[in-house]
């Protein structure tokens, strides 16, 4: 069974549905065909640079294999998409060889950070691991409560301080608690206010340094959470965070609520950052590890 099929319905009809219609209508592969194909992919937020690269590769392949029929093109398109998504992709989350694995989550408000942390806590718990969460967003009203609500739901404790407290101090407490209790995984929330970016980046740097100092080798992942429904905006957020906060991978949320799931392809090819996890709904189980092949197959189901 394909884990992505259900969640990617909207993107699938935006890409596969339209490609199918195009193939039936045009029949032959010519310049006009490529132009329309490019429009479809750009419309699904694959991103102009990536689309141009993809169609260049398609042209070459079509020439090499001497293909004329548009109906023979779709498998090649799938192949190219899978190859692109796989490029340099890491396998899953990087975990500590021994001791606590620390995962830091960054990203702007509303993208789904807290939800992703809750889902991941649930996942690790169901694998029999001990989990702790750190309420590092001391800025947004309600952020601590929201994390605690997830904590209750999945049965995981939250390390916290008062709203307005220094998030680096929260991390210090959390690392100490994780070490004392021999916790397997520590999931750290952070603030995502976009006004005053410099301060936020400084805050994230300080958090990062405290974690590194208190636990050499940590954090094992710094995951940037991006909302797929914001399309190209997600890409510019990635550039903003990526440069400054040592991001090691992407979590792309809300793929179930958008027809612009092509953004995954753009992120892969333009950022050179692996998409580690994708959010496919609001429920506890709606989080999947990214799998290029299944993803593309879901699009052309
Ligand atoms: P944060 O501000 O980054 O911590 O974002 P939240 O975790 O509070 O999420 C913001 C909203 O997005 C909430 O209503 C979540 O239920 C919703 N959300 C998060 N992930 C997903 C997802 O994968 N799919 C859908 N449909 N909604 C999501």
Q: What is the pLDDT of residues 269-291, one digit of tens each?
A: 888 788 899 999 999 999 998 88
Question: Is the confidence metric ipTM above 0.85 for this complex?
Answer: yes
Does the annotation flag 281 for ligand binding?
A: no
Burial class for 60, CB neighbours closer than 10 Å (0-12, 13-18, 19+): exposed
What is the pTM (predicted TM-score) of this model? Answer: 0.87
pLDDT at 109: 92
Predicted pLDDT of residue 17: 86
136 lines ligand 1 (CB under 6 A): no
Ligand 1 atom having least distance to the Cα of 279: 23
Extract the residue ranges of the chain whose pLDDT is less than 70. 1, 87-91, 196-197, 243-245, 301
Asked if residue 62 belongs to a known ligand binding site, the reply is no
d(CA 38, CA 32): 10
Q: Is 114 annotated for ligand binding?
A: yes
Mutation probe of ligand 1 site: the residue of 8, 107, 146, 282 with most atoms within 8 A of C-beta: 282
The best mutation among 3, 110, 115, 120 to test binding of ligand 1, ranked by most ligand atoms within 8 Å of the C-beta, falls on 115
Give the model's pLDDT for residue 290.
Answer: 86
110 lines ligand 1 (CB under 6 A): yes
Report the C-alpha gap between 110 and 142 in whole angstroms: 12
What ligand 1 atom has the least distance to the C-alpha of 253? 23
**272 assigned binding-site residue:** no
- Nearest-CA residue for ligand 1 atom 19 is 112
């Amino acid at each position: 069974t394909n884990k992505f099929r259900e969640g990617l319905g909207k993107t699938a009809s935006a890409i596969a549905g339209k490609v199918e219609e195009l193939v039936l209508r045009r029949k032959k592969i010519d310049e006009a065909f490529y132009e329309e194909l490019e429009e479809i992919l750009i419309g699904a937020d694959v991103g102009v640079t990536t689309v141009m690269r993809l169609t260049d590769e398609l042209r070459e392949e079509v020439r090499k294999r001497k293909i004329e029929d548009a109906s023979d093109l779709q498998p090649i398109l799938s192949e190219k998409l899978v190859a692109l998504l796989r490029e340099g992709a890491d396998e899953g989350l990087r975990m500590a060889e021994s001791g606590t694995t620390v995962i830091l989550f960054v990203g702007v408000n509303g993208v789904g950070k807290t939800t992703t942390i809750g889902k991941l806590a649930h996942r690790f718990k169901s694998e029999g691991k001990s989990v702790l969460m750190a309420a590092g967003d001391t800025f947004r009203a309600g952020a601590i409560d929201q994390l605690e609500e997830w904590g209750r739901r999945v049965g995981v404790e939250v390390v916290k301080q008062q709203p307005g407290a220094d998030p680096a101090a929260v991390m210090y407490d959390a690392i100490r608690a994780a070490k004392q209790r021999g916790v397997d995984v520590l999931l750290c929330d952070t603030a995502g206010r976009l006004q005053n970016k410099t301060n936020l980046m400084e805050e994230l740097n300080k958090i990062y340094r405290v974690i590194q100092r208190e636990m050499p080798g940590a954090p094992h992942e710094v995951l940037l959470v991006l909302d797929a429904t914001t399309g190209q905006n997600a890409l510019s957020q990635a550039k903003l965070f990526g440069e400054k906060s040592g991001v090691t991978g992407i979590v792309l949320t809300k793929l179930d609520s958008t027809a612009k799931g092509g953004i995954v392809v753009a992120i892969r090819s333009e950022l050179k950052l692996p998409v580690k996890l994708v959010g496919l709904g609001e429920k506890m189980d709606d989080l999947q590890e990214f799998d290029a092949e299944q993803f593309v197959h879901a699009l052309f189901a």
